Amino acid sequence: AQSVTQLGSHVSVSEGALVLLRCNYSSSVPPYLFWYVQYPNQGLQLLLKYTTGATLVKGINGFEAEFKKSETSFHLTKPSAHMSDAAEYFCAVRGTSGNTPLVFGKGTRLSVIA
């Protein structure tokens, strides 16, 4: 079975500082990996995903993540935080078969301080 661990339920950064949200997965084979963002009272929005190919994945809003198989990690980063980045971030994993569901981590709430 696959699982996802997000380290830190709440991360607070200053505006302009580096954003680092950690995600580790457990899977018997390298899975597909995703990061979603959810703004207050809104639905999920896909930030980025890794399926195959380049392990450094660039997403929307300046975010990127790197798949590190040796560390079973898929941490999300952004060089400079903006106030509008304040939201809940979810890391998710799924198998490479086309009909497998996503398994979500518990989420990390990002706060950005002016």
Partner 1 sequence: SAVISQKPSRDICQRGTSLTIQCQVDSQVTMMFWYRQQPGQSLTLIATANQGSEATYESGFVIDKFPISRPNLTFSTLTVSNMSPEDSSIYLCSVNRDSGNTIYFGEGSWLTVV
Establish if 60 lies at the interface with partner 1 (CB under 8 A). no
Per-residue tokens: 30? 């390298």
| Separation between Cα atoms, residue 45 and residue 60, nearest integer Å | 10
# of chain residues touching partner 1 (CB under 8 A): 20
C-beta of 47: minimal distance to partner 1 in Å? 13
Considering only residues 44, 59, 66, 77, which one is a binding residue for partner 1 as defined by CB under 8 A? 44
| Separation between Cα atoms, residue 34 and residue 93, nearest integer Å | 6
Per-residue tokens: 97? 């078969």
Query: Got the DSSP string for 53-95?
Result: S-SEEE-GGG-EEEEEGGGTEEEEEESS--GGG-EEEEEEEE-
* CB closer to partner 1 out of 70 and 99: 99
* CB closer to partner 1 out of 9 and 14: 9
* CB closer to partner 1 out of 17 and 86: 86
Q: Please give the residue ranges that form the binding site for partner 1 (CB under 8 A).
A: 32, 34, 43-44, 46, 51, 90, 94, 96-107
